Amino acid sequence: MNRLSTILYLAALFLLFSCQESVLEYPQADVVIVQVNDIYEIDGVNQGKGGNLARVQGLVDSLKKVYPQVLLVHAGDFLNPSLIGNLKDESGEKVKGKHMVDVMNAMSFDAVAFGNHEIDLNYPTLKKRLNEMNFDMISANLFFRDSAEIRAFRQNEKEIKGYKNFEINTKSGLRTLSLLSVILPYNKKDYVHYQNVNSTIQSNMIDLKEKADGVFLLTHLNRREDNELGEKFQEINLIMGGHDHYNFCDTLGSERYLTKADANARTAWVHYVSWSDNSKEFLSKSVLVDINNEIKKNIKVESIIEKWKQFSIEKTSEQGYQMSNVLMEIERPLDAREESIRSQQTDFGKLVCEAMASTFDTADIVVLNSGSIRYDDLMLNPVTEGDILKALPLGGVIKGAYVSGVDLMKIYKAGKLNEGSGGYLQVLQIPQGITEFGMYFLVTTSYVSAGREKNLGFMKDFEWEVPKDLDEGENDIRKILIEYLSN
C-alpha cells in the first residue's frame, strides 16, 4: 500500500467510523495511536481473511509513512488461551504464550497492558514470558505478592511501571503524553495483589497532572467500569480498553471517548491526537479500521507467524489431528462469537452439547460453560478439524451425574447470573419439563463439574462419572466433537 492509497483508505474509514459526528478533511495529528486488544490468534480469523498481526504491523508501517510519530498499544489478553499455547514444545513444556511474545517482539509495540488472561499463567511461566518480551508492559494496580512482600512485577530485572510517558514533537514544542494502565481484579491467583482501580488512578493523576500534557488510560476493565472512570476523571480524554471482545466507541463527553476493538485483531482503532498551540488541551479523533486483506502484511512478522503455524500443524498431527481435514459442509455460518455465546444459546453451542450428550447412553441435560469456546468468530463453510481445535483450545474431559430438579434449577439460575461472562451456560435440555422432585442425568465438562465456574461451586459435590465406552485418551471434548461431526 503506497502513501497515497494509505491516505485515501484511512480517510474513507475515518468518514465512516469516526467517533466524531462529521469530519470533512483527512485528520491532522501530532501523534497517531493504533490500539488493539484481546488477541489469541496470530494468523487471523475468518479463514485468514480478517485479523492477523502481520497486517496490524502493516497498518502501523503505512501510517509511519504519513505521520512522524505512531504508537502501537495493546489493551491486554494475549498470553492465554489459544490452541498453540496449549501445545507442547520440544522440551515437553506447553507453549503458554511464547508464540505471542515471539510475534509481538517482531512488532513495534510501545506499551502493553496486563489482561486477566495473563494471570492465567502460573508465576514461574509468567515470569519467563515477561523476561522474553522486548516491549514494555505497564500496570498501576497489579502487583506481585508472596509471604514476604508486595512489590511491582519485574520485566528483565526492571520494575514494571504503572504508566509510560512519551515525548511528542508538536508545532508548539515538546509535549508529554502519558499512558496509565489498570486491570480488573478478576483472576485471584495467590501471587497477585490488586490495588483499588479508582484510588490507583486518583493517586497517579496527582503526579501526572504536573508531569504530563495529557493522560490516556490503557485499561483492561469491563465496559461499565470504563465508563464510570470516564465520568469520574474528566481530565482523561481517551480510554483505550480491552476485555470486551467487540468494537465500540462510547462518548464520555465533549471530545472524550472510550474505545475497544474486536478481539483477534479483526479491527483496530486509530487515534489522531493533536494539542492546542498554547495550552495542554488536545483533541483525539478515532477511526475504526478493518484489519483485512486490503492491508499489506509486514514480511518479518508474517515469517514468524508462518513458523508457529507449521509448529501447530506438526504438533496437532502428532496428537492424531489433521488441521485441514474437512468435517462437515454448512449452509450458513455457525455462531461462535463471544458476544453471542456468552449471552444466548447459539447453534455452535448446541452442536457441542449434542456431541457431549452422545457420550452417555442416558443424557437428560447438557450444560457447557461458554468460556470454554474461544473461537470468537463466525465459523464458515467448510468446518475443519482446525476450526474445532481453535474453538476448544483447552480441551476437557466429559463427565455425568444424576442431579435433582432442585439442583438443576440452581444451575440454570447460576448460568443466567453469569450472562455476559464465560460462566454463561450453553444448555441442551432433552426432557420436555423439569420437576422439582425429579432426578436427571446431567452431562458437562470436568472444569464445570469441579465447581470451578463462577456461581457453580456447588457442582463439585455431585457424584460424577466418566463415559464407560471411551478410553481415557479419547475422553476429550475436541475428539468427541470431531468424531460426532465425522459420522
pLDDT in tens, 118-136: 999 999 999 999 999 999 9
Say what the pLDDT of residue 15 is. 39
3 pLDDT above the threshold of 80 = no
Say what the pLDDT of residue 358 is. 96
pLDDT (average), residues 213-242: 95
pLDDT in tens, 26-64: 588 999 999 999 999 998 888 888 999 999 999 999 999
Q: List all residues 6 or more positions away from 45 whose beta carbon is below 8 Å from its beta carbon.
A: 51, 264, 266, 376, 377
Say what the pLDDT of residue 25 is. 47
Residue 264 to residue 45: CA distance in whole angstroms: 7
Say what the pLDDT of residue 283 is. 73
261 pLDDT above the threshold of 80 = yes
Q: List all residues 6 or more positions away from 435 whose beta carbon is below 8 Å from its beta carbon.
A: 405
Residue 220 near residue 183, CB atoms below 8 Å: yes
Residue 235 near residue 213, CB atoms below 8 Å: no
State the Cα angle at 264 between 90 and 127, rounded to 5°: 45
Residue bearing cell 497517531:
32
234 pLDDT above the threshold of 80 = yes
Distances (CA, A) of 405 to 51, 279, 411, 440: 45, 66, 10, 7
Mean pLDDT of the chain: 91
Q: List all residues 6 or more positions away from 257 whose beta carbon is below 8 Å from its beta carbon.
A: 19, 237, 238, 239, 249, 250, 251, 284, 286
pLDDT in tens, 154-201: 999 999 999 999 999 998 899 999 999 999 998 889 999 999 999 999
384 pLDDT above the threshold of 80 = yes
Residue 280: band (very low, low, confident or very high) from pLDDT cuts 50, 70, 90: low
DSSP string for residues in 202-249: HHHHHHHHHH-SEEEEEEE--HHHHHHHHHH-TT--EEEEESS-S-EE
Residue bearing cell 513458523:
307
Instruction: Take residue 308 and report the three cell numbers written for it.
Output: 508457529
Residue 117: band (very low, low, confident or very high) from pLDDT cuts 50, 70, 90: very high
Q: Which domains does the chain have, with CATH numbers?
A: 3-304 (3.60.21.10), 323-486 (3.90.780.10)
Q: pTM value?
A: 0.87
Say what the pLDDT of residue 28 is. 87
Say what the pLDDT of residue 171 is. 87
Q: List all residues 6 or more positions away from 41 whose beta carbon is below 8 Å from its beta carbon.
A: 51, 82, 264, 265, 390
Say what the pLDDT of residue 210 is. 85
Instruction: Take residue 127 and report the three cell numbers written for it.
Output: 515470569
324 pLDDT above the threshold of 70 = yes
More confident residue, 118 or 421: 118
Instruction: Take residue 366 and report the three cell numbers written for it.
Output: 447438557
Say what the pLDDT of residue 18 is. 53
What phi-psi label fits residue 482: left (phi over 0), alpha (psi between -120 and 50 degrees) or beta? alpha
Say what the pLDDT of residue 431 is. 64
Say what the pLDDT of residue 363 is. 92
8 pLDDT above the threshold of 60 = no
Residue 377: band (very low, low, confident or very high) from pLDDT cuts 50, 70, 90: confident
